[in-house]
Amino acid sequence: MIATILWLGFVVFGGRSIGDQPTPIGMSSGELLWTIVIAANWILDLSGVAWLVSPRIPRWGGPRLQRRLASAIRYELMIGISVLALIPIFWMVSTSLKTLPETYEVEPYLLLPREPQWGNYPFLFTFERFNVLQLFKNTSLMTVFNLVANVGIASFVGYGFARLRFPGRNLLFLLVLSSLMVPFIVRIIPLFVLFSGNTYILQDQLGQVFSWTIFFESRSWAQNTYLPLVVPEFFGAAGSSALYIFIMRQYFLTIPHELIEAGRVDGASEFAIWRRIVLPQATPAMVAVAILSLQGSWGAFIEPLIFLRKVDLHTLSIWLSSFRSVQGESVIQWQYGMAGGVLVTLPVFILFLLFQRYFIAGISLSGIKG
Amino acid sequence: MRAPRWTIGRREAVWGFVFIAPWILGFVIFSLGPTVAIIAWGFTEYDILQAPTFAGLENFIEIFTDDEKFLKSLVNTAIYVGLLVPCQVVIGFLLAVLVNTKLPLASLFRAFYFLPTIMPLVVASIVWAWVLQPELGLLKFLLEDTMGIPTPRFMVDEYWSKPGIVILTVWSSIGVQMILFLAALQAVPPHLYEAAEIDGAGPLRKLLHVTIPLVSPTIFLVIIIGIINSFQVFTTAFVLTQGGPLDSTLFYVLYLWRKAFVSFEFGYASALATILFFIIMLLTALSFWVSRRLVHYEQPES
């Protein structure tokens, strides 16, 4: 694995041709050399793991050497896999700084731009077809609404399921979880009908959905609004609401019984107990839900795609997907697509760096990404 | 009439219903209602411009007897799920074993593996569309141009389009599986390993007879979530291949989406959605049934 990385570094810094002599199997000698080194490295790695794991192979060298070897192999694999995980991200950033001709250059293949084109980023905001600033505004607004909705409703309903006894509670909670099984498309089609009023929608538009230039004006009251993207979240009935309710419930179960009892003895209403005693204790879970919700809405794709059919209502993810549209231009402007990708990813990355702990806690509690 | 007696228990129950009331409302309007509507519309012809008209079993008969794309998309999806879910389980587990260590910097690597998961799926999709691009893509350059390893044309080859999407999905979701398995591994009580060591078990034995049984609930969880999610694959296929080449990535929901929102055959789409719903329920039920034999649940110590 290390050899793979070395080789990659080698390629990046332009030292590909250490040997250009032809060999009988069709590779140049340099390529052959690298291939052998990488293969040998992998064989060593795998046999090292096998040696450490298998009881059949005789041990030598004592426990200390074995431990050293084990951590060496572990580090090597961890580094190698990091490279695999990070290469596409590197490639995105690198491409975003290239010029259009550079993205299409093959000989020599450019892993890094000759000169970083920082201007690609401001250029994104000057597109005619998409007002990117507007898209940022739309997406953030939707994200914030959904965040408030999800945190509020999940902590409210979650408390009911966690700390209040009422008949049918377990059955209803099972129903909450089972709604995770309902395919999103089953929810979306009726939602679409519900929010389209009846009707005119889509005349003359058949077959135009793939081409991103033509979007239509709607005449019905709720068509082309954010309502179908936001309203279900306020009722805990969006795709991942059940997870958020689950996360909050699990957390509320850990709050000491005495605290709640004390509130009841003081004659506080359950609402006051929830608001004044329980919520302040539940910040970590609320942050986890907030982050998962934020990440989910920020990158939401299919719902905006279906409900928002006017270009100035679009979200960032729809804009990004248009860079791949097959029927659009013949030349795909990869550098802008990648720059857009960086712009859209950056906020969530920063958030991740700040709140990594909550992210991970939320995911290991819920099991699914938002 | 006597006024109801407000015992403490009843007061609590009323409050309980107050707290879950928003969810009940939402469940009825946005989950139960739609499910019922979808099942009902499956028996109608409905183009959303006019009210649905009853059509009996027509949609279902057409789906099962006269719709090649239905079968194609179902098979595509099944192959995709069959490729993806085992990858997620195995790679996720191995990654978790790898980073389950107190060595310095291990948490940094964990964060690295998790970064792709943070990325919005649409971004991941276009990045991979670019990486896998058949003539200019990075992968082709790294494998074929520099090492001479022939690289499949992922996005244009009928047989390699699904593996291409699987690679992208593994890359962008593996962080979740890693975290789940990591949590499970860290919950394995160390005394079990000590006991196994006293019995003379090597690392492989410990893995097979201690670790895997104890993380089997998580394996089950990852499989169930994997099946439910990947059966509904949409975004990646939409962005990367739009169903092509030769319908090889026409997945079920993509096909359904086209029927509903491109050609506006809502009745037909509803019938398809009903079938999807039952397939997912069936698969989930099946997994639960299989898991009863295979999954080991640790009894909590009193």
ipTM of the complex: 0.84
Interface test with B, best of A269, A301, A332 (most B CBs within 10 A): A301
Our CA angle for B204, B210, B215, nearest 5°, is 110
Closest CA to A16 of A6, A26, A1: A6
How many domains is chain B built from?
A: 1
Estimate the share of chain A in helix, then strand, then coil, as percent rounded to the nearest 5: 65, 0, 35
For helices B58-66 and B266-294, the axis angle rounded to 10 degrees is 70
Whether B290 is covered by a domain: the verdict is yes
Taking 50 as the threshold, does the pLDDT of residue B302 lie above it? Answer: no
Judge whether A245 and A157 are in contact, CB under 8 Å: yes
B54 beta partners: B44
Contact: A321, B238; criterion CB under 8 Å: yes
Q: Of the CATH numbers 1.10.3720.10, 3.30.70.360, 3.20.20.480, 1.10.8.60, which one belongs to the domain with range A123-366?
A: 1.10.3720.10
Asked if A1 and A42 touch (Cβ cutoff 8 Å), the reply is: yes
Least confidently predicted of A327-331, B27-31, B174-178: A327-331
| Of A228-232, B146-150, B159-163, the least confident | B146-150
Portion 234-273 of B in contact with A at CB < 8 A: 234-235, 238-240, 242, 253, 256-257, 260-264, 266, 269-270, 273
- Helix, strand, or coil here: A253? coil
Cα–Cα distances in angstroms (integers) from residue B297 to residues A161, B215, B294, in the given order: 24, 9, 10
| Rg of chain B taking only CA atoms, in angstroms | 25
pLDDT in tens, B68-92: 889 999 999 999 999 999 999 999 9
Partner-chain residue, chosen from A52, A89, A189, that has the shortest CB–CB distance to B270? A189
CA B43 → CA A194, B37, B54, B62, B210, distances in Å? 19, 10, 6, 12, 52
A170: amino acid identity, one letter: N
Contacts of A142 in chain B (CB under 8 A): none
User: How many angstroms from the chain centroid is the CA of residue A217?
Assistant: 31
pLDDT string in tens for chain A (370-residue length): 666 666 665 555 554 544 555 666 666 666 677 777 777 777 877 777 776 666 566 666 677 777 787 788 888 888 888 888 888 998 899 888 888 778 777 776 777 777 888 888 888 888 777 788 888 888 888 888 899 999 999 999 999 888 888 888 889 988 888 888 888 888 888 888 777 654 334 433 333 333 332 333 333 444 566 777 777 888 877 878 888 888 888 888 888 888 888 888 888 888 888 888 888 888 888 888 888 888 888 988 888 888 877 777 788 888 888 776 544 456 678 888 888 899 999 998 898 888 888 877 777 766 544 3
Residue pair A296/A241 in contact by the 8 Å Cβ criterion: no
Which residues numbered 320-339 in A keep a CB inside 8 Å of some CB on B?
320-321, 323-324, 326, 334, 337-338
Q: What is the pTM of this model?
A: 0.84
Question: Phi, psi at residue B45, to the nearest 5°?
Answer: -105, 130
- Mean pLDDT (chain B) is 84
> For residue B211, what are the domain limits?
67-294
SS3 state of residue B83: helix
**Structure confidence at residue A220 (pLDDT):** 42
Residue A216 is predicted with a pLDDT of 36
Residues of chain B in contact with residue A89, where contact means CB-CB under 8 angstroms, are 115-116, 119, 127
Residue B13 · residue A167 · CB < 8 Å:
yes
Cβ–Cβ under 8 Å, residues A148 and B220: no
Interface test with chain A among B73, B122, B161, by most A beta carbons within 10 Å: B122
Query: A142, exposed or middle or buried, with CB in 10 Å at 0-12, 13-18, 19+?
Result: buried
CA distance A345 to A299: 9
Q: What is the pLDDT of residue A326?
A: 47
Is residue B59 in some structural domain?
no
Residue B257 lies in a domain: yes
pLDDT at A99: 82
Q: Are B26 and A154 spatial neighbours (Cβ–Cβ below 8 Å)? A: no
Instruction: Kindly report the CATH number assigned to the domain that includes residue B203.
Output: 1.10.3720.10
Q: Which two tokens stand for residue B242?
A: 């739009």
Asked if residues B153 and B245 have their Cβ atoms less than 8 Å apart, the reply is: no
Dihedral of alpha carbons A360, A363, A366, A370, sign: positive
| Tokens standing for residue B21 | 């009331």
Task: Point out the residue among B16, B37, B136 whose CB comes nearest to the CB of A166.
Answer: B16
Q: Which residues is B44 bridged to in the sheet?
A: B54
- Whether B9 is in a domain gets the answer no
Sequence-ordered list of residues with C-beta below 8 angstroms from that of A78, at least 6 positions apart, any chain: B98, B99, B106, B109
Predicted local distance difference test score (pLDDT) of residue A221: 40
Whether the predicted pLDDT of B248 surpasses 60? yes
Tell me the CA distances in angstroms from B131 to A335, B157, B237, one per residue in order.
13, 15, 15
- Which residues of chain A make contact with B130, given a CB cutoff of 8 A? 91-92, 95, 334, 337-338
Task: Tell me whether residues A190 and B135 touch, CB distance under 8 A.
Answer: no
Question: What average pLDDT does the segment B195-222 reach?
Answer: 83
pLDDT above 90 (res B48): no
Q: Which position has the token pair 């290390």? A: A2
For chain A, the domains span: 2-96, 123-366
Which of B246, B81, B220 has the alpha carbon at shortest distance from B161? B246
Q: Which residue has the higher pLDDT, B163 or A10?
A: B163
Give the pLDDT score at A264.
Answer: 82
Q: Which residues of A touch B225 (CB under 8 A)?
A: 367-368
If you write DSSP's letter for every residue of B257-295 in order, what string do you get?
Answer: HHHHHTS--HHHHHHHHHHHHHHHHHHHHHHHHHHHHHP
Q: What residues of chain A, 212 to 231, have a C-beta less than 8 Å from chain B?
A: none
Residue B166's pLDDT band (cuts 50, 70, 90): very high
Which has more confidence, A18 or B179?
B179
User: Residue A325 has what pLDDT?
Assistant: 56
